[in-house]
Amino acid sequence: MSDATASRKSRVLVGFDGSARALPALDRAADEAVRRGTGLEILCGWPWGRLPAPDAATAPGGPSLHQMSRASLDRAVARVRSRADGLSIVPTLTTEAAARALVRAGRTAALTVVGTRGHGGFGELLLGSVTLRVAAHSTGPVLVVRGSATNERNCVLVGLESEADLGALRFGFEEAVRRGATLRVLHAWRYPATPSMCPPAPLEWDDVQLLAKSAEAVPQYAVAALRPAYPGVVVDTVAMCLGAGHALTEASRTADLVVVSAHRRARRLGLQLGPVTHTLLHHAHCPVALVPDAPHSPTA
């Protein structure tokens, strides 16, 4: 094992801004560190709770924003210790912008964990800018903690578009092993477009059957390539004629975790996440793990 690989496996990284909305991500990160047998780094980056709650306001001569943030970070450490006694914890308070700090530190983390939103806002509907930037630029796996279910469903769900998503599928296998869960691999497909026809010409029954069988083969072949390395995992493959975002969002109702490749598209304003990823980050009923499908140079 290389030094870089050993370093990546050494800790789980979580972004923490001191808000109540950040607590689910903090708790989940502690659980993930215990599950992986690693340490936990709690990172609080500038602007350290730029919009503090009203009761956090101080009079002149009171504690500075830095001091309040340090106290908040100390409380986070105490919370994790009460949840996972003996876990190695590294609290980090930095003046670096939160998204940039998380992307940088995440290069050597086994997993970066972020919440859906920090101070204020509608946490279940909107994503904070830090979460979106980390999801769009991180070079390692990112776990976005969303959904409110507390009961385990004993299922890891992987969205598979093609064999290019083997990295996400391998991550899903590993998660299934850690959790002792079933792995469900879902491939969504649509009828081919027929631009020359308006409206599109109906497909013959034999054509539909052929398309369905071809779609079913996509997750089956992908799973067959990795199954020998994970012989103890029970796998269920599904092909659905439905939009991928809709199919995965609905399937996430009965999953503990949904895993997808973080397909990024180079745009004029930087890397952007694909529509399926955006749909899941805004509407999934459980946490979402994004696994980069190709290395790139982050510019958070």
pLDDT value of residue 263: 77
Range 215-219, long-range pairs (CB < 8 A, 24+ positions): 215/187, 215/189, 215/239, 215/241, 216/187, 218/160, 218/162, 218/163, 218/187, 218/189, 219/160, 219/185, 219/186, 219/187
- Mean pLDDT on 151-164: 90
pLDDT value of residue 299: 39
CATH code of the region 3-145: 3.40.50.620
Is the pLDDT reported for residue 52 higher than 60?
no
**Which of 134, 94, 97 lies closest to 114, judged by CA?**
134
Q: pLDDT for 58-91, tens place per residue?
A: 545 657 778 888 999 999 999 999 999 899 999 9
Which residue do the tokens 């509407």 mark? 283
pLDDT value of residue 211: 75
Domains 3-145 and 155-292 share a fold: yes
User: Given pLDDT bands bounded at 50, 70 and 90, which one contains residue 20?
Assistant: confident
pLDDT value of residue 206: 64
User: Given pLDDT bands bounded at 50, 70 and 90, which one contains residue 231?
Assistant: very high
pLDDT value of residue 179: 95
User: Given pLDDT bands bounded at 50, 70 and 90, which one contains residue 121?
Assistant: very low
Q: Is the pTM of this model over 0.95?
A: no
**Which of 19, 50, 43 lies closest to 29, judged by CA?**
43
155-292 is classed in which CATH architecture? 3-Layer(aba) Sandwich (3.40)
Find out whether 290 and 262 touch, Cβ atoms under 8 Å.
yes
Domain ranges for the chain, please list them.
3-145, 155-292
Is the pLDDT reported for residue 285 higher than 60?
yes
Calculate the average pLDDT of the chain.
Answer: 82
Q: What one-character DSSP code corresponds to residue 229?
A: G
**Higher local confidence (pLDDT), 3 or 18:** 18
Candidate from 169-178, 199-208, 261-270 with smallest mean pLDDT = 199-208
Give dist(CA 199, CA 202) in Å, integer.
Answer: 9
pLDDT value of residue 204: 63
User: Given pLDDT bands bounded at 50, 70 and 90, which one contains residue 236?
Assistant: very high
**Higher local confidence (pLDDT), 3 or 247:** 247
User: Given pLDDT bands bounded at 50, 70 and 90, which one contains residue 105?
Assistant: very high
